[in-house]
Chains A and B, each alone.
Chain A
Amino acid sequence: MQTIISTRSIGDQDLHTTTMRSSFGLVKRSLINTRRLPSAFLPSLAMPMFNMIAFSGTFFAITKMPGFPTDRSVNWFMPLGLAMGSAFSGVALGFSLIRDLENGFYDRLRMSPTSRLSLVVGPVIATWIRVTLVAAIVFVAAFLLGARPTSGVLSYICSLIAALGIATIGAGWGLGLAYRFQDMRGAAIMQLSIFVTMFLSTAQVPLDVMTGWLHTVARVSPVTNIFRLARAGWVNESSPDYMSWSNVYGGLLAIVILSALSLTFAMRSLQQIDN
């Protein structure tokens, strides 16, 4: 990763800009901002908590449906809450980018000779750090509310990977739209599209419970695979979705492919920003 993009000398010094170093400079900035403006970060934390608590409570009775994969509603809805929070953290990157674009700070970044890749990678890494923090808090809260993993540490790891994956996909999508719209119109589209996409899957109920058009859509949605990964360690051993390579594999693949697509979209959009 230590590719030197280009070099120039001033005085007796050589100036090397590397994607890695610039990315970490931007990670640092993003984390400093999070620390100094926690109110911008709170929704990313409040959303998964609220989602988990509200859904587990409101839809408590669905675990009584015949064949439901778990009898604990928190087990079922915690991964949904975490996924929602991660998606939000991802697109929130788009919001802060829009702020930078609107107040002109982003011009400064764009005028620097650093690699364009670092302008995308840096903020995404910062998002991973924030999502990991949120996940840790959500895991503790879920445990207190009665969630119990069925595959030990692996349960948590799978949920975290799913969360990071969703955050990456959301981030690429959010950044790309922000580059294209450069104002808050982009923010509305980011939020709408990502949440609709999330819900058109097994987000709320398992495939066996749903009926009609949603079943048709959710069955083929890659997001369903990601939810299967996120919940593999939270459903009963007797469930066909219980932790196994075949239940995890599809989610991992979906994350890799969708992340690649959305980050490519972000890079492409950044390259067209000067048009």
Chain B
Amino acid sequence: MIDVALAQKSGGDLAEHSLSLSMRQTFALAKRSTLELFRQPALVVPSMLFPLFFAMLGNSSFGRTTSLPGFPKVDSYLQFQLAGTITQGVLFGSVTGAAALATDIQNGFFDRLLAAPTSRTGILLGRLAGSTLFGALQTAVFVFVLMPFGASVSAGIPGVLAMIVSGALISLAVGALMSSVALKTGSAEAVQGTFPLLFILLFFSSAFFPRETMSGAYQTIAGLNPISYLVEGLRALSLEGFTASATARAILVPLAIAIVALGIANSQLRSRLRKH
């Protein structure tokens, strides 16, 4: 399943060669979900601009804090912050995609798909392909926009590429989780409603400040929070360089979460199908 999602992401060629009907359907749906996302600048633009704004704000606010004990060795706060910014942006974007799925369910488009002999998993993957691609794009934009301001990536060009893959996987993972909510509730409002929850998770992680500087309970919570590990994988690429360990953490952690999340989303899809 993951292979399929990656195949869509890597462009049309692969899908064109594939003779499988299900692949073509998935691709068509992926195209729809991607186009749909980009045709709604009001939804897309905030998930680009907001994280950038907070990154710049953070850089000015906490620029001097990098000398605090417990802070890793960094060129600038922005270099530290880059991974948090990517994660934040991807969280924003994934909710938008899942809300679109819930809207499909609400307005009956989803039923129309189900009534057609479309591959079931294709419907889900097609929907997620849009957010995955968008996650990759967001990551690239954040890296290139923030780079001149001091958000250097020690791992160089291979590192940036790894970050983009990582960003896409995080987007896929969060998108799949949010899609489970969409499939379970069939309500766009419910999906939007989980957003504050994600936001809270983000804040109780090491997205904005190192775990090492936190105190007591916060440190414990951030240590248990999966978002900390998503962020820290990415961060390793910008701070440590293109090492095997950094790359593995940046790719494998989101990959593992994505697999679990896709499993959950798929089972939610099946249970929704049973209701039909």
Contact = CB atoms under 8 A, between A and B. Distances in A.
A205 B214 contact: no
Contact of A60 (B53, B60, B214): B214
A62 B56 CA distance: 18
Contacts of B65: 61-62, 65, 209
B62 A62 contact: yes
B218 A57 contact: yes
Contacts of B62: 59, 62, 204-205, 209
A50 B204 CA distance: 10
A: interface residue count bin: 20 to 34
Provide the main secondary structure of the chain B interface: helix
Interface of B: 42, 46, 53, 56-57, 59-65, 68-71, 196, 200, 203-204, 208-209, 213-215, 217-218, 221
Contacts, number: 79
A29 interface: no
A189 to B, nearest CB: 10
A196 B60 contact: no
Nearest to A57: B218
A61 B42 contact: no
B57 A192 contact: no
A59 B81 CA distance: 13
A52 B67 CA distance: 24
B46 to A, nearest CB: 7
A133 interface: no
B56 to A, nearest CB: 8
Contacts of B70: 61
A60 B213 contact: yes
Contacts of A196: 53
Interface string A47-81: 00010001101111110110000000000000000
Given A54-B203, A58-B203, A59-B209, A211 B218 contact: no
A198 B214 CA distance: 25
| 10 nearest A-B pairs in the assembled complex, by CB-CB distance | A214-B60, A57-B218, A61-B213, A54-B203, A211-B63, A205-B61, A204-B61, A212-B60, A60-B215, A61-B68
A213 B209 contact: no
B214 A61 contact: yes
Contacts of B215: 57, 60
Given A61-B213, A62-B62, A65-B68, A50 B200 contact: yes
B42 to A, nearest CB: 7
B208 A59 contact: yes
Contact of A215 (B53, B60, B204, B214): B60
A58 B209 CA distance: 6
Contacts of A109: none
Contacts of B59: 212
B60 A211 contact: yes
Contacts of B196: 43, 46, 50
Contacts of B60: 210-215
Contact of B46 (A64, A192, A205, A212): A192
Nearest to A50: B200
A57 B217 CA distance: 8
A61 B69 CA distance: 9
Contacts of A220: none
Nearest to A56: B218
A54 B209 contact: no
Contacts of B63: 210-212
A151 B20 CA distance: 73
